[in-house]
Amino acid sequence: MTAAYVALGGNLGDPRQQLLDAVDALGRLPATRLLRRSRLYRTPPWGVLEQPPFINAAVLLDTRLAPHDLLGALLAIEQRAGRVRAERNGPRMLDLDLLHMEGVQLDDERLVLPHPRIAERAFVLLPLADLAPDLLLPGQGRVAELLAAADTRGCECLGEGRLAE
């Protein structure tokens, strides 16, 4: 089994409920156990600024799925939730990003692990720090240190509880 960290986000429809539904779907993936979920965060939009704020979270999975198989499963969950890939960084029903898999470094046309832009994004670092503040991301640093350097203005913890370990 391999620890895998997945970021969740959305800002269309009922993003809170869509994230919770996605967490349930992640927990039902084959050869995978959902170990923990972060708190939910309301965060300002990134990239395209003229859109509603996002709701973001992260989960820790324990999986036997290979990285590309897990990516395919994430894309299928997005599609079932109504995700339309119209523009980069634009509004979306649901976005699932595979951030990191322990012991895996990968860089191909479909997937880069760890995700190359984690350190730039408070909306990823805040929930990831709930799960693993001491996680060392190869080539980037420790999550807590990356978060300390990130711009978290406009980010708000919604205070939702985590899954038990």
Active-site residue identified among 33, 80, 85, 92: 92
Q: Annotated catalytic, 97?
A: yes
Which CATH number, 3.40.80.10, 3.30.70.560, 3.30.2000.10, 3.40.50.2000, labels domain 2-157? 3.30.70.560
pTM reported for the whole predicted model: 0.94
Q: What is the DSSP letter of 48?
A: S
Residue 115 CB partners (closer than 8 Å, separation 6+): 7, 97, 98, 99, 100, 124
Active-site residue identified among 36, 62, 64, 83: 83
Active-site residue identified among 95, 107, 110, 117: 95
Domain positions in the chain: 2-157
Instruction: Provide the residue-wise pLDDT of the chain in tens; the chain has 165 residues.
Output: 999 999 999 999 999 999 999 999 999 999 999 999 999 999 999 877 789 999 999 999 999 999 999 999 999 999 898 877 666 767 889 999 999 999 999 999 999 999 999 999 999 999 999 999 999 999 999 999 999 999 999 999 997 755 444
Beta strands in the chain (DSSP E): 2-10, 32-37, 41-43, 54-63, 95-101, 106-107, 112-113, 136-137, 141-142, 156-157
Q: How many CA atoms lie within 13 A of 87 on its CB side?
A: 9
